[in-house]
Chain A
Amino acid sequence: MNPLELTLGIMTAVGGFVDISELVFAAKAGSMFSYALIWVFVLGTIGMSVFGEMSGRVAAIAKQPVFNLMRHRLGLNLGLLTLAGSLISTLITCAAEVGGMALILNYLTGLPYMLLAVISVAALMASMWVLPFKWIERTYGLLGLMMIVFAVALVAIHPPWAKLAGGVLPQVPAGLSSKELLTFSYFIVAILSAVLFPYESYFYSSGGIEEGWGPKDLLTNRITCTVGFGFGSLLAISILATSAQLFGPINVGPELPGTSALEAAMPLAKPGLLLALLGMLFAVAGAAVETCMSNAYAVAQFFGWEWGRHVKPWEAPRFTIAWIAVMLLALLIVLTGVDVLSLVEYAVLFSIVVLPLTYLPLMLLANDKSYMKQHANKWLAKSLGWLFFIIVTAAAIAAIPLYLLTSGGQA
């Protein structure tokens, strides 16, 4: 285990943890329900660590990417259905990230939004063409670390720490009306979806294969998934807690992603604002790359094409065409003028619906000793895997009714 590689891996996981959906839902959750939804971020992060570690271990030992497994474990028909669902949800997520990027650049430069969307996509595609996998992941992840300014802002406003810590325990605030209870439930589902986005495990496990992981990398995988995702989650919780403290009392339930940057500007002035906007920009850009490549990985792995960024783009032509097509489709969606927040809503909704089908084959393979040998899931990973599978399945069933009943958390 190389300490430098491990540190960089953890820092990349921290900086790459937050995306536009977490940004939006953390700020809204804090302003609407104070600290009462912190536990959902904690729960989601434990789930992400469990499935992330599992997908990394499967990549290292069985050398199997998620969509290859899906085809073999679910069969062609159900596999195709899951592939289609994943492609749609991840494409919408990618469009939300591209729109978010253009929006943040608009706050920084004042240039027209549509032009910035085109520039963003051109810059993302250039970086994906030029950089090898490791540096694509690291560049955005490390620059996304500027989001730490939200944690600094939280400390600077002196929140009631005891009350904040109380939010870690699962709870439902007392005195909520039936409507508020439904909205609270919708936020639980949406936050779980935003933290457990399926693209994260596709990207993570495909990355493991790209980098040629083996048994020697299992400890690095475990530490990255627990420590990296854990610290990343602290950034999302900082956004929620600062919003609870600064926005909730004055009726601000952020309708614009740019409002979240005020969380850093209020205690830290212009440097805080700029660091928050730049951190948000790179975190969202990283997520745009991850979603785009995840879709290309999914298609290529499912149909058995040559794939990966360890080879030159022209050496895996169908894979290259796939990620270019995904990015251009995401741009087209943004250019229709659809609101970024609406895209975020649809992204979390579609993602949670396909999540159980994504995690089931992964878990079955990780349990299978014939593939995984002594690295198969032990009792703890098995128990947590099934527990989270039940949780995401319940969330998937509840997602659409809750979305309709609460008008996407607005009612």
Chain B
Amino acid sequence: MLRRLCLVLLLLLAACSKGPGADLQYIGQARSLAAEWALVNEQADKGRVTATYVASMHRWLRRNLKTAASSLTQPDSRYGAEIRTLLAEPDDAAPDELRIHADRLKQIEDRLESA
């Protein structure tokens, strides 16, 4: 019981702190956005979605990625650099290329979570 209480308090502290722990949520968001971007482009290549939908999704994906990047407490970290590289990709980037970014962010996320 006491151990669980300590864990909860530690997590509460982490939620209010700075650094990789506090950035985890933004890394997770960026990872998902990269994977969503890849999926949208993949479906566009297969002709399963409309051009208007694709253009609109690109705008929102980019906007949310920018928000995630600007929310980082450590923008000069490895994950900060990865999100910037992702943002530099063109809208119609190859799905596989985008998935590589998603995978890299996932690896960083997993490493930070287990630390």
- A: residues with CB less than 8 A from B are 103, 106-110, 177-179, 182, 247, 250-256, 258-259, 261-262, 265-266, 269-270, 272-274, 277, 339, 401, 404-405, 407-408, 410-411
The contact of A265 among B48, B99, B102, B106, by CB within 8 Å, is B48
Given known pairs A252-B32, A265-B48, the reply for A404 and B113 (CB within 8 Å) is no
List 16 interface pairs A-B (beta carbons < 8 Å), by A numbering: A107-B57, A110-B56, A182-B11, A252-B32, A253-B28, A254-B32, A255-B33, A256-B60, A258-B56, A258-B60, A259-B39, A266-B48, A269-B48, A272-B48, A273-B48, A408-B25
> Shortest beta-carbon distance, B8 to chain A, in Å?
7
Chain B neighbourhood of A258, CB < 8 A: 53, 56-57, 60
Q: Binary interface profile of B, 26-68, with partner A (CB < 8 Å = 1, else 0)?
A: 0011011101101110010001111011011100110010010
> Shortest beta-carbon distance, A221 to chain B, in Å?
40
> Shortest beta-carbon distance, B103 to chain A, in Å?
8
Q: Please give the number of chain B residues whose Cβ is less than 8 angstroms from any Cβ of chain A in the complex.
A: 36
> How many A-B contacts are there with CB distance less than 8 Å?
102
Whether B48 lies near A251 (C-beta < 8 A) is no
Whether B57 lies near A256 (C-beta < 8 A) is yes
9 more A-B residue pairs beyond the given contacts A258-B57, A273-B48, A404-B12, with a C-beta to C-beta distance below 8 A:
A107-B57, A108-B53, A177-B113, A178-B7, A250-B38, A258-B56, A258-B60, A262-B43, A404-B15
Given known pairs A259-B36, A405-B8, the reply for A270 and B25 (CB within 8 Å) is no
Chain A neighbourhood of B56, CB < 8 A: 106-107, 110, 258
Whether A256 lies near B64 (C-beta < 8 A) is yes
Chain A neighbourhood of B29, CB < 8 A: 255, 410
Chain A neighbourhood of B52, CB < 8 A: 107-110
- Is B24 interfacial (CB-CB < 8 Å)? yes
Whether A255 lies near B48 (C-beta < 8 A) is no
Chain B neighbourhood of A106, CB < 8 A: 56, 60
Chain A neighbourhood of B35, CB < 8 A: 250-252
Whether A265 lies near B36 (C-beta < 8 A) is no
Whether A255 lies near B64 (C-beta < 8 A) is yes
Measured in the bound complex, the distance between the Cα atoms of B48 and A57 in whole Å is: 47
Chain A neighbourhood of B103, CB < 8 A: 251
Q: Binary interface profile of B, 83-104, with partner A (CB < 8 Å = 1, else 0)?
A: 0000000000000000100110
Chain B neighbourhood of A404, CB < 8 A: 12, 15
Chain A residue nearest to B109 (CB atoms) is A251
> Shortest beta-carbon distance, A398 to chain B, in Å?
11
> Shortest beta-carbon distance, B18 to chain A, in Å?
14
Whether A273 lies near B50 (C-beta < 8 A) is yes
Which 9 residue pairs spanning A and B have beta carbons closest together? A410-B25, A407-B25, A253-B32, A269-B48, A251-B35, A252-B35, A110-B52, A107-B56, A405-B11
The contact of A270 among B8, B38, B39, B49, by CB within 8 Å, is B49
> Shortest beta-carbon distance, B61 to chain A, in Å?
7
Chain B neighbourhood of A273, CB < 8 A: 48-50, 53
Whether A410 lies near B28 (C-beta < 8 A) is yes
Chain B neighbourhood of A103, CB < 8 A: 60
Chain B residue nearest to A103 (CB atoms) is B60
Chain B residue nearest to A404 (CB atoms) is B15
The contact of A179 among B11, B39, B67, by CB within 8 Å, is B11
Measured in the bound complex, the distance between the Cα atoms of B102 and A350 in whole Å is: 33
> Shortest beta-carbon distance, A276 to chain B, in Å?
10
Measured in the bound complex, the distance between the Cα atoms of B56 and A106 in whole Å is: 7
Given known pairs A266-B48, A410-B28, the reply for A405 and B53 (CB within 8 Å) is no
Whether A407 lies near B49 (C-beta < 8 A) is no
Given known pairs A110-B52, A255-B29, A270-B50, the reply for A411 and B15 (CB within 8 Å) is yes
The contact of B32 among A251, A262, A405, by CB within 8 Å, is A251
Measured in the bound complex, the distance between the Cα atoms of B53 and A178 in whole Å is: 38
Chain B neighbourhood of A255, CB < 8 A: 29, 32-33, 36, 64
Chain B neighbourhood of A407, CB < 8 A: 15, 24-25
Chain A neighbourhood of B61, CB < 8 A: 256
> Shortest beta-carbon distance, A215 to chain B, in Å?
50
> Shortest beta-carbon distance, A111 to chain B, in Å?
9
> Shortest beta-carbon distance, A67 to chain B, in Å?
36
> Shortest beta-carbon distance, A150 to chain B, in Å?
16
Chain B neighbourhood of A274, CB < 8 A: 50
